[in-house]
Amino acid sequence: MDHLTVFQVLLLVAGGFFAGFVDSIAGGGGIITLPLFLSAGIPPHMTLGTNKLQASFGSLTASLRYRHSGLISFRTLKTGIFFTFLGAALGTAAIQRIPADFLNMVLPVLLLGVFLYTLLSPRMGELDVEARMPVFSFYIIFGLATGFYDGFFGPGTGSFWTIALATLLGMNLKRATATTKVMNFTSNIVSLSVFILGGNVIFLLGILMGLGQLSGAWLGTHLVVKNGTRFVRTIFLIVVAATIANLLVRRFIQG
């Protein structure tokens, strides 16, 4: 962190605030913070580890805020938390075994499907509806799959969780967003632990940005609780579109 200027640190902290705000509503905070880390000259492995640290502040704050508002109950999510933890552990262990180029190629297509489905389903997530599959089976499948993906790669995880919870478990978008934050925090902690063991976390910077994340997440969750599902849907669509654009640009730059 010694090579960073005061301006760069302030910019990163501000980025943490905006990332926490966006992430608490619709996910996708990483598309704000990761480019900031890299533009400050922080190596990729240190970027990923420090990003997980600061993001954990935001996802924990959002989870507790949503629980206080009655949108989630940790007891009812214990199956999802367990299998997300397991999936993230497996994903982090496999990160050096599966080529990331494959995910770079497939992810924009998957996210485009999520975007179009949400855009063309204007009433999706307005109200709780009947679940399309058993809750226990859902959390086994999506906990393992999405947890694995977040531990291995990351971008778009929140979007996949939110759309799956709304379409397959019948949650309204407010509840789906709240539940997504719990699962995000779970997979963040697993990945962060591995990065810490590898010595790939800048603690002081991560904590400073985490304070920004905490503030942004509190504001974002306040707006979600106060406003209806249409507000969440609008932000969700914007974030998914921005994530797709970000991934396509990265793909183009990389070759």
The position carrying tokens 């970027």 is 47
Query: How is residue 155 annotated by DSSP?
Result: T
The position carrying tokens 């995880």 is 157
User: What is the full per-residue pLDDT of the chain (255 aa) written as tens digits?
Assistant: 667 889 999 999 999 998 898 888 877 777 788 778 878 888 877 888 898 999 999 999 999 999 988 888 888 899 999 999 999 988 877 765 655 566 556 656 766 776 676 666 655 556 566 778 999 999 999 999 999 888 876 767 887 888 889 889 988 888 888 999 999 999 999 989 988 988 889 999 999 999 999 999 999 888 888 876 677 777 777 877 877 777 677 667 665
Distance CA 242, CA 36 (A): 16
- Does a structural domain hold residue 124? yes
Which residues lie below 8 Å from residue 100, measured CB to CB, with a gap of 6+? Answer: 153
The position carrying tokens 């770079």 is 104
- Does a structural domain hold residue 147? yes
Query: How is residue 2 annotated by DSSP?
Result: T
Q: Say if CB 125 and CB 232 are below 8 A apart.
A: yes
Q: Say if CB 74 and CB 231 are below 8 A apart.
A: no
- Does a structural domain hold residue 232? yes
Percent of the chain at pLDDT > 90 equals 31
Q: Say if CB 79 and CB 143 are below 8 A apart.
A: yes
Q: Name the residue range of residue 151's domain.
A: 6-254
Distance CA 232, CA 230 (A): 5
- Does a structural domain hold residue 1? no
Domain count for the chain: 1
Q: How many CB atoms lie within 10 A of CB 34?
A: 21
pTM of the model: 0.80
Of 235, 100, 198, 200, which Cα lies nearest the Cα of 154? Answer: 100
In this structure, what token pair is assigned to residue 92?
Answer: 């982090």
